[in-house]
Structure 1
Amino acid sequence: MKLLQRYEEAVQRDDDAAVVALSAEMDEQQAWELEAHAKIILSKLGISNFSQSVDELSGGQRKRLGLARALIMPCDLLIMDEPTNHLDDKTILWLEEYLRDSKAAILLSTHDRYFLDCVADSMIELDRGHVYTYVGNYGQYLEQRQARLEREEASEAKRRNLIRREKAWIQRGAQARSTKQKARKERYEQLCAIEAGKPIGEVEMFDTSVRLGKTIIDIDDMAFGYDPARPLFQHVTYHVVKHDRIGIIGENGVGKSTLLQVLAGQLAPTAGTVTIGQTVRFGFFTQQLPQFDEGMRVIDYVQEHGHFVTNQFGQRISATRLLDQFLFTEEMQYTYIAKLSGGERRRLYLLRLLMDQPNVLLLDEPTNDLDIPTLTVLERYLDTFQGVVLVVSHDRYFLDRVVDKLFTLEKETWDRFYGDYSEYLEEKYSHHQEKKGEKATAPSITKTNITPAKTKAGLTSRQEEELRRITEELPRYEAMLKGLNAAIAAAGSNYEEVESLLSEQKETQEKVDALTERWCELEDLKA
């Protein structure tokens, strides 16, 4: 690489003698191929100005430059830490293919579960001070991990039973004088000292949001551009409704984060209007962390706005309960912020936002620097969240798990898609194949190929995905219905509030009925 740099500098100086000498040296070391390879990788990672100074690059561009440097250098072992951060979907797909074709061994740490599924063939898990190894990709790891946890639970049940028996023996007042009795007492103490394994994700979730009115965000023919003559997006029209779960996708630089800022009222649209409802309370989780007081303890930072919050269903939730919910143990709650890792700080920042009781969450790349257990907790929290979620993310698994519609941004244009990210990709790919004329023609129906229309037992892939989504959504709406019933009972003689709640209860009940009916239909088809 240093040889290439010297050659480029000689060309810029118009030093013909040096260019000739260095060209010969590059021929000898076959450096021309390395140069072409380097430029291809830089282009794929979104860096096209090869002579630009590193000092002029943004933080995201520097991260991609670091990744390019690692990919370009020949090696036997490639080590990568969160390689998909700051990459758009198209670039991640290219990186997956590049790594699959690589002959080097790869060791990577990432929260991107689809990326792991594609690239990894073995997994190492660090859990409660222990290291576990698994053969297979992320999906296979989940199955093997579940089996391990079940074995641990069985062992823990046996340990508890043993402790019960040994405790009963000790409480009978047996004299521990003989060697045998002393040994039994020591065994009891050892059993009590063993730390019980506690799998992550078993904490009850509590929604902190306050109620939303009928008007949330109304977007009418809106456009925005830092240069009005060159809008990032235009003609955006959408009426945000309760319980919307919207993902915002597009390549780097098309204005995804900017769109969130416009919706939050931080930037004024250059055309059209954005109307915010009076009851809307935003929680804007940005990519940049706030300035923390390093000398403050975690619990004090979260409690700055109060020790408790009361949500729209009258539930009183303590700051310590929320911290526990987001994997801050009792010991960690009294740790100084200065000792927290980057991922733990992002988790703390998110918690602080939730203590402000937002009912519209704007999440800008929320999965960056969060580990998979924390992502699982965030996904479970969003399942119970009664407000609106708009999220910019490159994490395809997270989008599939959380959203049910997409805003797609391309140069100066926007569109919407009803469905999750995988469904969007499937439809986009099928349209691409149709344009290329590669779509397989449907088989003609003749007596020879009609195998008496095997009323196909089983579901299509799309129906399976619909069933999965209904299974996830139904508990959320049922919990919402339960909360509304409690809120109606608590409203007493406040007739205006009761009327509003009854209207919402009716809508929610209709949604539950429709989902239940469709769930039954799909289950019948499965049989």
Structure 2
Amino acid sequence: MSTLIAAEGLGHAYHDEWLFKNLTLGINVGQRVALVGVNGAGKSTLMKLLAERFAPLEGKIVKNKSVRIGFLDQEPSFPENASISDFIFSSENKQQQLIREYEELVEQEHPDEKKLNRLYEELSEHNAWEYEHQIKTILSRMGINHLQQKIDTLSGGQRKRLALAKLLIEDPDIYVLDEPTNHLDIDTIEWLEKILTSGNKTLLLVTHDRYFLDNICNTIVELERGKTYTYNGNYAYFLEKKAEREAQDDATFQKNKNLLKKELEWMRRMPQARGTKSQARQNAFYDLEEKTKQRSDNQKVTLNVKMARQGNKILELENIKQSFDDKKIINDFTYVFKRGDRIGLAGKNGTGKSTLLNIITGSLSPNQGKVDLGETTKFGYYKQGGLNFNEKDRVIDIVKADAEYIKMADGQTISASALLTLFLFPPKKQHGLVEKLSGGERKRLHLMKVLMQNPNFLILDEPTNDLDIDTLNVLEEFLENFPGILVLVSHDRYLLDKMSDQLFIMEGNGNVKIFNGNYSEHRNAVEQEKEAAVKKEKKEENKPASSTTKLSFKEQQEFKNLESSLAENEEKVKNLTAKLNQVEPSDYNQIQEISSEIEKINETIEKEMERWMELSEK
């Protein structure tokens, strides 16, 4: 295998602390490498060094100058005042510039026919139609529809999807991806898996999504205490081999501990003769002491906070309706929450998941319907956006602002400092500033503050974003034993499968479907429905034509209803088109909303027309 990029003797420090020293790593053509490790281990820093975002303090990155690296940051940056089109299409790529000109032209209400014809010919000359289709598919999948929209008007999630779209269009020699599944819905994640595993792509990625990691990667590199451990296999193989390594480390640790005890006794004897002792043996003692200290510090997050008492009435939603600007978000939804409910909230981006959560927690009153909250119900709401911390606050002060002492599940009361230690914030970090925390450490602190409230109704909105897998495993263990209500929003299919036994599926247009089962069971049910529909369609096609030409009474009624429905929908399209023409060009959100509505109605008209033709022929 030929090596595309390598790190030699790499060393880097952050806030005066070394993340790693003398680190060596190589990535070969066709390798799909996942970088794993606890929050704060230096994963993002190592990725940025390999992507040549900045230079290491020690060592070097070795690669051929012609090797193109595509880097997806957790929080991508963009040129100031740039449009989507400016960012996506490279000025050095002739095909892309033709596609840009063509796409911008067809977005216009009255495109210039001469220009369109000229571009059509040029795109054909440059064999760019297939490329145009590929670019359009990628942009559409990422929910990017208006090329003239300014990037600074996009949300954080839209920006991440835009950066990923550009990377997929450019198709670099090495993809370096920091949490690529954040802000993607499940359908898009599954589509992305197919893209990244097609061809002989070379990848280096950090992800918390274990299904994604297992489906994509063929090599796992663990970054632990400044060292790397490489496992040639998928994530399941890595877990097996890591367990073996840790068992061996435990045996070595116990051996070192016993040896350290003996050496410590030797060091304490005859202090007056200290100068005559073997210097080599003293040096070996200090080295052994450091190794043993490091191993004993290897702790895990502990989650066992107390839950508030829960009464008989928890929460009742009755005939909930919610819409924004004539767009239906929730239409007549009723549900009575019961003890032990473990609900996964699923649906594409923009279908109303956050709206439903806001109604549940009382931060939004529905347009219609009743929300009846039990007296003892206590929410713990872990929000996707995280908390707005003051960068200059100390970590311990943020916790003490809520409580000096916290009651645990076993009845024991512990201090804020002791709880922070259980959440892997050692004293040095506790008294350090928030600005020194990594993204994952901030999320861990946010999770801790939510659990400190002793909730009995826990809502987790994308809890897996930026948390390391070790912390996620502990969180899963805690949730499995959590006796209260759990509502989980996540694009992590593994977590949805493991933690939910019921789904609220936001289908769009206000429909909220309740499915009894987890995500994989729902997916299988959908696939079975599709297969059954295809079989039925084939059966109908092979069915001999009926000798009668008369319509049944039911078909006659359907025929009449179709005629009136077609007329009604055509009128709707006419009115919406008129409305679209009156919208200010800068109001991208309303343009997108109306265009989407017109597209949906046109799809309905097309289906109704097919059925009308079928009945009219009979």
TM-score, structure 2 length as denominator?
0.65
Q: Pick from 491, 502, 516: which aligns with 1:405?
A: 502
C-alpha contact (below 8 Å) 2:104/2:148 kept by paired residues: no
Rate the CA distance shift 1:387–1:16 in 2: closer, same or farther, 3 A: closer
Of 122-131 and 173-182, the range deviating more from structure 2: 173-182
- SS of structure 2 residue aligned to 1:292: coil
Query: Structure 1 stretch 363-372 or stretch 47-56: which is displaced more?
Result: 47-56
For residue 58 of structure 1, what is the aligned residue in structure 2?
A: 155
Unaligned runs of 5+ in 1: 439-527
- Gapped runs of 5+ residues in structure 2? 1-88, 92-96, 537-618
State the partner residue of 1:137: 234
Greater mean deviation of Cα atoms: 176-185 or 121-130: 176-185
Alpha-carbon distance, 1:234 to partner = 2.6
Residue correspondence of structure 1 range 251-330 to structure 2 within 5 A: 251-310=348-407, 314-330=411-427
Provide, for residues 105-140 of structure 1, a one-character-per-residue CA deviation record: whole Å limited to 9, x for no partner: 111111111100001111111112211111111111
Pairing of 1:121-520 with structure 2 (within 5 A): 121-173=218-270, 181-194=278-291, 195-197=293-295, 202=300, 204-227=302-325, 230-310=327-407, 314-411=411-508, 412-437=510-535
Residue type matched to 1:436 in 2? V
Assess if the C-alpha contact under 8 Å between 1:224 and 1:231 holds in 2. Answer: yes
For 2:289 and 2:237, the matched residues in 1 are separated by 34
Q: Cα gap change, 1:160/1:101 in structure 2, threshold over 3 Å: closer, same or farther?
A: same
The CA distance in 1 between the partners of 2:272 and 2:257, in whole Å, is 23
Aligned in 2, Cα 1:182/1:290: closer, same or farther, shift over 3 Å? Answer: closer
Give CA-to-partner distance per residue, 1:378-428, whole Å, 9 cap, x none.
Answer: 223323433222111111112223223221221222222333222332333
CA distance in 1, matches of 2:529, 2:414: 48
Is the CA contact (8 Å cut-off) linking 2:302 and 2:423 kept in structure 1? Answer: no
Write the letter of the residue equivalent to 2:521.
Answer: E
SS of the residue corresponding to residue 416 of structure 1 reads strand
Tell me the alpha carbon deviations over residues 131-179 of structure 1, each in whole angstroms, 9 at most, x when there is no partner: 1111111111111111111111111111111112222334454875797
Question: In structure 2, how many angstroms separate the alpha carbons of the residues matched to 1:101 and 1:367?
Answer: 26
Query: Cα distance, 1:361 vs. partner?
Result: 1.6
What is the CA–CA distance in structure 1 between the aligned matches of 2:220 and 2:409, rounded to whole Å?
42
Q: Verify: 1:70 aligned to 2:167, yes or no.
A: yes
Instruction: Assess if the C-alpha contact under 8 Å between 1:201 and 1:373 holds in 2.
Output: no
Q: Give deviations 1:63-91, integer Å, cap 9, x for gaps.
A: 21111110011321122221111111111
TM-score, normalising length from structure 1?
Answer: 0.76
Change (3 A) 1:387 1:9: closer
Paired residue type of 1:241: K
| Residues 327 and 374, structure 1, Cα contact 8 Å, conserved in 2 | no
**% identical aligned pairs:** 43
Which has the larger share of strand? 2
| Residue of structure 1 in register with 2:38 after alignment | none
Question: For 1:431 and 1:16, how far apart are their aligned partners in 2?
Answer: 44
**Contact persistence 1:207–1:385 (CA under 8 A):** no
CA distance in structure 2 between the partners assigned to 1:81 and 1:158 by the alignment: 39
8 A contact 2:304–2:409 mirrored in 1: no
Residue type at the aligned position of 1:339: K
Q: In structure 2, what is the Cα distance between the partners aligned to 1:234 and 1:17? A: 47
CA contact (8 A) 1:207 1:386 kept: no
Contact 2:104 2:147 survives alignment (8 Å) = no
- Aligned-pair RMSD on alpha carbons? 2.8
Q: CA offset at residue 292 of structure 1?
A: 1.6
1:477-512 Cα offsets, whole Å, 9 max, x none, are xxxxxxxxxxxxxxxxxxxxxxxxxxxxxxxxxxxx
Provide the rounded CA distance (Å) in 1 between the counterparts of 2:387 and 2:518. 31
Q: Distance in 1 between matches of 2:381 and 2:506?
A: 20
Distance 1:404 1:109 in 2: 29
Is the deviation greater in 183-192 or in 126-135? 183-192
Segment of structure 1 superposing worse, 133-142 or 288-297: 288-297
Q: What amino acid is the match of 1:215?
A: K
Q: How many residues align?
A: 438
Using a 3 Å threshold, how does the CA distance of structure 1 residues 62 and 181 change in structure 2: closer, same or farther?
closer
Give the residue type in structure 1 aligned to 2:502.
Answer: K
